[in-house]
Amino acid sequence: MRFEISKVLDAIEGRVCTDPQLVRAVVDLAEIIRYQDLDGGRPASTLRLGMVIDALARSLEEDNAAVYAVVHRGVLSDADLTSNERMVVRRWADDGLVEVLDNPGDRMLEVADLLGLPVLSRVRFDGLRGRFPWLVEQPGRALAPVPGAGGPVFIAHLGGGHTPVAGPPSPAAAKLLAREWRCPESGCNLFGGSGGGGAFADLAAVGRKPTGQAPPSLRNGVPTCPRHGTRLRDAGPRPRSEVLAVRVGGLIRRRFVVTEEQPVLVGRAPDGSGGIMLGQWLNDEARRWISRSHVRLELRGSDVVVTDVSTNGSGIRPAGSLAEADRISLAPQQSRVLASGDMVELYPGVQIGRPSELPAGASYNPDSVMSEAPTMAMRLPR
Ligand SMILES: [Zn+2]
C-alpha cells in the first residue's frame, strides 16, 4: 500500500510546477489537503491535490494539466500528514516545484492575476475584489472544488458549475516575465540560478527539465522574492521560449517548452532526458509507424523549426487543416519553420502544434493522475 501511495505522489509531482508557461491554475496546497469532504478520509491528505488536478484535467479536457501550488510553510511539518507525505512535500519545496511561504497572504491571487490563470479555492476573497476585479467579473476565474459524482467538480463562486477560464495576463507580468530574476538569499529555490541555488544547484539541474522561473511578487512596484521578501536583482533577459503541445486522438496530452538551448525530441520513446514519449497513447499501428525519435523541435530566433528525424517521415497541416490535399509532407531529415497555425503530423491523429492553435478537443476523459491509486477510500498507513 505504501508503495502505491508513493507512486501516486510521484504522478502528482509531475503535475505541480512554478513554470508560468505550463501551469493552468493556481491552488493553495494547505487549503486543498484539508478538503475532507472530497473523500471523507483523514483530516489532511495530499491525495486531494491529485483529485483536484484530475478535476482540472477533466474540465479542460487536457491530459497532464499542471497547477501552481502556493504552500504555507506549516504544511511541511503538518502532523496530520503521514511522514511520507511530509517528506514528499519537502522535496517539492526543495526542488522549487511549489512555492513555500511563511505568510502566503494574497500570493495565490497575485500569481493568478499576473499569469491570467484561474484560482481553484473555496475562499471567497471578499475583501480583495477591489484589487482583483476578475474575481467578480469572470466567474470561471475563481472556482471552488466540491465533491461530484465522479470526483471533484468546480462551481463558480457566484453559483453554477463552471470550466476554468484564463484571463488576460496583467500588463505588469509581461515586463516581469521578460527578465530573469535573482534572489540575494543563497539557496533560494525560486530565484536561484548562477550564484545562488546552493552548492549542488548545478548538479541538481542536470537531467531536470528546464523550468521557467516563477513570477516575482510585486511589492510597491518592486520585484520581490515572495519567499524571502528581498528585492530581486535583474539578471538579464529571460531566454526566448515557446510552448508546444502534443495532441493524440483529439486530446492535448502534454505541453512542453522549447528554448534555443534546449531542442526537444518527440517520438515513440526518445533517447535521453527531456524528450516527449508518445508510446503510451498510441495504438499498435501508430507505434509501428512512429520512430523512437520522430521529430526534433527547436527555437531559432523567434522561429519554431521542426526537423524530421524518423524513418517514415511526417507531414505539416497548414492552419490545422485536416484536408488530405493540404498536407505537406516532411521527408526524413527535412526541416521546416512552423508557421502560425501549422500542425506537425507524425501519424494520423498524432500531432504537435501551439496549444492555442490546435483544433478543439473531442470529448475524451483525460488519464487520471491518481490511476495508480487502487481506491480513493483507502486509509493510509501512518
Ligand atoms: Zn528568495
Q: Is residue 37 part of a domain?
A: yes
pLDDT class for 199, splitting at 50, 70, 90?
very low
44 and 143 inside one domain: yes
Greater confidence (367 vs 372) lies with 367
Average pLDDT over every residue of 260-283: 92
3-state secondary structure of 22: coil
Q: What is the DSSP string of 66-135?
A: EEEEEEEGGGGG-TTS-HHHHHHHHHHHHTTSSEEES--TTHHHHHHHHHT--EE-S---GGGTTT-THH
Greater confidence (319 vs 144) lies with 144
Distance from residue 233's CA to the centre of ligand 1 (Å): 11
The CATH number assigned to the domain holding 103 equals: 3.40.50.11980
147 and 1 inside one domain: yes
Residue 158, pLDDT > 80, answer no
Average pLDDT over every residue of 72-96: 95
pLDDT score, position 262: 87
pLDDT score, position 193: 65
Distance from residue 217's CA to the centre of ligand 1 (Å): 11
The CATH number assigned to the domain holding 303 equals: 2.60.200.20
Distance from residue 377's CA to the centre of ligand 1 (Å): 39
Residue 2, pLDDT > 60, answer no
120 and 259 inside one domain: no
Q: Of all residues in the chain, what percent carry a pLDDT higher than 90? A: 69
Residue 376, pLDDT > 60, answer no
Residue 89, pLDDT > 60, answer yes
Tell me the chain's radius of gyration from C-alpha atoms: 21
Q: Is residue 74 part of a domain?
A: yes
Average pLDDT over every residue of 159-165: 83
Distance from residue 1's CA to the centre of ligand 1 (Å): 37
pLDDT score, position 239: 86
pTM: 0.86
Average pLDDT over every residue of 164-193: 89
15 and 124 inside one domain: yes
Q: Is residue 377 part of a domain?
A: no
Domain boundary among 118, 138, 169: 169
Residue 238, pLDDT > 70, answer yes
- Take residue 127 and report the three cell numbers written for it: 475583501
141 and 289 inside one domain: no
Q: Residue 11: which H helix or E strand, with range?
A: helix 2-13
Q: Is residue 369 part of a domain?
A: no
3-state secondary structure of 227: coil
3-state secondary structure of 144: strand
Domain boundary among 111, 145, 169: 169
Distance from residue 285's CA to the centre of ligand 1 (Å): 50
Residue 144, pLDDT > 90, answer yes
Average pLDDT over every residue of 248-264: 90
Distance from residue 154's CA to the centre of ligand 1 (Å): 33
| Identity at 112, one-letter amino acid code | A
pLDDT score, position 204: 40
pLDDT score, position 371: 58
Residue 183, pLDDT > 60, answer yes
- Take residue 226 and report the three cell numbers written for it: 515572495
pLDDT class for 174, splitting at 50, 70, 90?
confident
Residue 355, pLDDT > 50, answer yes
Distance from residue 67's CA to the centre of ligand 1 (Å): 21
Q: Can you list the positions of beta strands (E) in 73-220? A: 99-101, 119-120, 142-146, 153-156, 179-182, 217-219
38 and 152 inside one domain: yes
Q: In the predicted model, what is the mean pLDDT of the chain?
A: 88
Distance from residue 191's CA to the centre of ligand 1 (Å): 6
Q: Is residue 207 part of a domain?
A: no
pLDDT score, position 299: 95
Distance from residue 295's CA to the centre of ligand 1 (Å): 38
Total number of domains in the chain: 2
Q: Cα(380)–Cα(12) distance, rounded to whole angstroms? A: 16
Domain boundary among 121, 151, 169: 169
Q: Cα(34)–Cα(41) distance, rounded to whole angstroms? A: 10
State the residue range of the domain holding 31. 1-169
N- to C-terminal Cα separation, the chain: 11
Nearest CA to 217 out of 71, 93, 110 is that of 110
Distance from residue 174's CA to the centre of ligand 1 (Å): 21
pLDDT score, position 196: 36
pLDDT score, position 209: 43
Greater confidence (313 vs 378) lies with 313
Among 62-66, 77-81, 210-214, 245-249, which stretch is predicted with the lowest mean pLDDT? Answer: 210-214
Q: Is residue 345 part of a domain?
A: yes
Residue 343, pLDDT > 70, answer yes
pLDDT score, position 197: 38
Average pLDDT over every residue of 118-122: 96
Q: Cα(139)–Cα(173) distance, rounded to whole angstroms? A: 22
147 and 18 inside one domain: yes
**b/e for 119-135, b at 16 or more Cβ within 10 A?**
bbbeeebeeeeeebebb
139 and 248 inside one domain: no
Q: Of all residues in the chain, what percent carry a pLDDT higher than 70? A: 88
pLDDT score, position 367: 65
305 and 164 inside one domain: no
Phi first, then psi: give them for residue 325, nearest 5 degrees. -65, -25
Would you say 370 and 342 are in contact if contact means Cβ atoms under 8 Å apart?
no
pLDDT score, position 366: 64
Q: Cα(28)–Cα(106) distance, rounded to whole angstroms? A: 10
147 and 284 inside one domain: no
Q: Is residue 246 part of a domain?
A: yes
141 and 259 inside one domain: no
pLDDT score, position 150: 87
Distance from residue 346's CA to the centre of ligand 1 (Å): 42
pLDDT tens string 216-232: 999 999 999 999 999 99
Distance from residue 318's CA to the centre of ligand 1 (Å): 44
124 and 247 inside one domain: no
Q: Is residue 186 part of a domain?
A: no
Distance from residue 182's CA to the centre of ligand 1 (Å): 8
